[in-house]
């Protein structure tokens, strides 16, 4: 089940990546969904493996004791709100279509679409915050740390993960052109 959750997180993160880009820089909505389904599961599982390696090492350095499977489990289930965001994306896409991927809806978007997109954005932020809280509490429990130390561990792991993902994205873009979306 951990792998299924990690794969679903990858799809949701891939959709969020496309939404954060300018509308002119990407394909149609159906191509975005197809690419998310094609590349998202691989990226999601790889990302959870990367972060479980990072958090396992950092946790051991600050005195925590856990296995890689425990850390993977915390990251997979801590990302459950991201899976709920994926369902929210699907609902938004069904309601508003291509406008779901507009970075900033223009004046030609009607009020209903604008309200739906703002509600979806607010719900996504709330679910992201919930995911962070679940991961911090999970690390606190499996590593036997106080919450303050678990927050510091989470922040340090995110910084290291962003650096690792940045260099990995560069490597993938060099080896497999077209897989990583071009920057706006």
pLDDT in tens, the chain (184 residues): 889 988 988 888 877 777 666 555 556 767 777 888 888 899 889 889 989 999 989 988 888 788 888 999 999 898 888 888 888 888 887 887 766 666 555 556 677 877 888 888 888 889 889 999 999 999 999 988 889 999 999 999 999 988 987 888 888 888 888 766 665 5
CA distance linking residue 71 with residue 93, whole number of Å: 33
Q: How many residues does the chain have?
A: 184
Say if CB 9 and CB 82 are below 8 A apart. yes
Give me the pLDDT at residue 184, please: 53
Share of the chain above pLDDT 90, in %: 22
**What is the model's pLDDT at position 109?**
64
> The dihedral of CA 147, 148, 149, 155: what is its sign?
positive
CA triplet 29, 86, 72: central angle to 5 degrees?
130
Cα distance between residue 130 and residue 88, in whole Å: 15
| CB burial of residue 135 (10 Å; 0-12, 13-18, 19+) | buried
* pLDDT the model gives residue 105: 52
* Cβ atoms < 10 Å from Cβ of 70: 19
The model's pTM is 0.78
How is residue 17 written in tokens?
């990546």
Distance CA(34)–CA(30), nearest Å, equals 6
- Are 47 and 10 in contact by the 8 Å Cβ rule? The answer is yes
Give pLDDT, residue 180.
Answer: 64
Predicted pLDDT of residue 130: 93
Give the residue ranges of DSSP H helices in 20-101: 29-61, 68-78, 80-96
R_g of the chain, CA atoms, integer Å: 17
């Amino acid at each position: 089940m951990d792998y299924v959750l990690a794969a679903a997180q990858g799809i949701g993160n891939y959709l969020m990546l496309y939404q954060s880009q300018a509308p002119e820089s990407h394909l149609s909505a159906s191509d975005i969904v197809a690419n998310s389904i094609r590349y998202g599961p691989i990226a999601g599982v790889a990302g959870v493996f990367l972060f479980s390696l990072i958090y396992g090492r950092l946790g051991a350095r600050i005195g925590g004791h856990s296995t890689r499977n425990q850390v993977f489990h915390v990251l997979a289930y801590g990302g459950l709100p991201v899976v709920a965001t994926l369902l929210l994306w699907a609902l938004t896409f069904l309601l508003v279509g291509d406008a779901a991927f507009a970075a900033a809806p223009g004046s030609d978007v009607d009020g209903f679409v604008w309200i739906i997109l703002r509600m979806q954005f607010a719900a996504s932020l709330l679910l992201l915050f919930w995911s962070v809280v679940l991961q911090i509490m999970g690390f606190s429990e499996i590593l036997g740390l106080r919450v303050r130390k678990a927050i510091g561990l989470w922040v340090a792991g995110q910084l290291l993960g962003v650096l690792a993902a940045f260099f990995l994205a560069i490597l993938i873009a060099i080896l497999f052109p077209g897989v990583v979306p071009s920057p706006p």
